[in-house]
C-alpha cells in the first residue's frame, strides 16, 4: 500500500500537467501513509506486549516470583 502511494505521487509529477499533483493523489498518498503507520504501530505494540509477557513467564519459571 505504501509503495502504491509513493508510485502514484511520483507519477503525478510525470503526467500532464507536469509538476502538478492532483488533490486526489495527495489524499490517496496521505491515506497510504496513515494505513502503513497504523499497521506498523499496532505490530510494534503487540510485539512489545508479548515480550513483556514472555519476560514475566521466564521470571516465574526461574523461581523469582512466588
- Rounded to two decimals, what is the model's pTM? 0.59
Strand positions, DSSP E, the chain: none
Assign 40 to helix, strand or coil.
helix
- Where does the pLDDT of residue 64 fall: very low under 50, low under 70, confident under 90, or very high at 90 and above? low
Rounded to an integer, the average pLDDT of 14-35 is: 84
CA-to-CA dists, residue 30 to 9, 13, 51, 64, 66, angstroms: 10, 16, 31, 48, 50
Average pLDDT value for the chain: 84
Q: What is the pLDDT of residue 48?
A: 93
Rounded to an integer, the average pLDDT of 4-10 is: 82
Q: What is the pLDDT of residue 5?
A: 78
Q: Which residues of 46-60 are buried (b: 16+ CB within 10 A; e: fewer)?
A: eeeeeeeeeeeeeee
- Where does the pLDDT of residue 46 fall: very low under 50, low under 70, confident under 90, or very high at 90 and above? very high
Which has the closest alpha carbon to 2: 30, 26, 44?
30
Amino acid at each position: 500500500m505504501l509503495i502504491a502511494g509513493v508510485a502514484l505521487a511520483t507519477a503525478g509529477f510525470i503526467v500532464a500537467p507536469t509538476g502538478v499533483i492532483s488533490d486526489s493523489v495527495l489524499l490517496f498518498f496521505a491515506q497510504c501513509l496513515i494505513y502503513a503507520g497504523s499497521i506498523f504501530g499496532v505490530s510494534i505494540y503487540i510485539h512489545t506486549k508479548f515480550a513483556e509477557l514472555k519476560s514475566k513467564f521466564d521470571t516465574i519459571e526461574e523461581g523469582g516470583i512466588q
